[in-house]
Amino acid sequence: MSGFFISIEGTDGSGKTTQIEMLEHYFKDRGFYVVCTREPGGNRISEKIREIIIDKENVGMTAVTEALLYAAARAQHVYSDIKPVLNDGGIVISDRFLDSSLVYQGYARGLGVKTIKDINKYAVADVEPDLTFFLRLTPADSLARKKNQKELDRMESEGEKFHRLVYDGYMRLCKINKERIKVIDASKSADKIHSEIVACIEKLLKEKGI
């Protein structure tokens, strides 16, 4: 695959959507073929699975079921959306990828990182982001931003303890994957965050000769 894959990770309310939109404009202004997508979702089938995952009526969903649904949505996403773009030499920017499952289901749900990796072995088909940005926002700030939302979905409605585990899981993951995952302070202004992201991307693109 000759393309370039970027994933944006972060806790709820960290500003991922804003940064993805700004990054899309950045690449398009420079003539790159870029596709923005999200997980779970990105296509009709994966979006259907997303509806099941975030539906607040599905409060009885087990952690294993949740993990398998994320993997199923990811498999469809990778094969129908991500790989074709990368094979064509394009740039993919995804709102979340496997790291989210490692954190939410592996760490916070207690299934373990190895279990999540095993579940997703065929789903990711050896696809891994070239670069990942973790927009770091403390659990307290994350919850404060989410209070302005009219309605929270099933995952967002989890308690403070769960979201603390998610945050701690991300921090552990970032330490393990320092080369790929770049930590960005999400409390800064959107423009400042964008500038830091672009600086990292331009450095890596130069190294890859893109």
Mean pLDDT over 48-63 rounds to 94
Specify the 3-state DSSP secondary structure of 128. Answer: coil
Residue that is written with structure tokens 């998610």 in the block: 166
- Counting Cβ atoms within 10 Å, is residue 99 exposed (0-12), middle (13-18) or buried (19+)? buried
pLDDT value of residue 177: 97
Task: Name the nearest CA neighbour of 190 among 4, 22, 3.
Answer: 22
pTM of this prediction? 0.93
CB 77 within 8 A of CB 37: yes
pLDDT top residue among 5 and 151: 5
Distance CA 201, CA 183 (A): 13
List, in sequence order, every beta strand (DSSP E) within 44-198: 91-95, 131-136, 181-185
Distance CA 155, CA 142 (A): 13
Domains of the chain: 4-208 (3.40.50.300)
pLDDT value of residue 152: 79
Residue 69 pLDDT exceeds 70: yes
pLDDT range class, residue 119, cuts 50, 70, 90: very high
Mean pLDDT over 122-131 rounds to 96
Residue 64 pLDDT exceeds 80: yes
Q: Considering only the C-alpha atoms of the chain, give the largest distance between any 2 of them, rounded to a whole number of Å.
A: 49
Per residue in 131-165, pLDDT (tens digit) is 999 999 987 777 767 666 667 777 777 778 888 99
pLDDT value of residue 6: 98
List, in sequence order, every beta strand (DSSP E) within 96-171: 131-136
Task: Name the nearest CA neighbour of 202 among 105, 131, 124, 107.
Answer: 131
CB 5 within 8 A of CB 94: yes
User: Of the given ranges (11-20, 72-81, 121-130), which has the lowest mean pLDDT?
Assistant: 11-20
Per residue in 176-200, pLDDT (tens digit) is 999 999 999 999 999 999 999 999 9
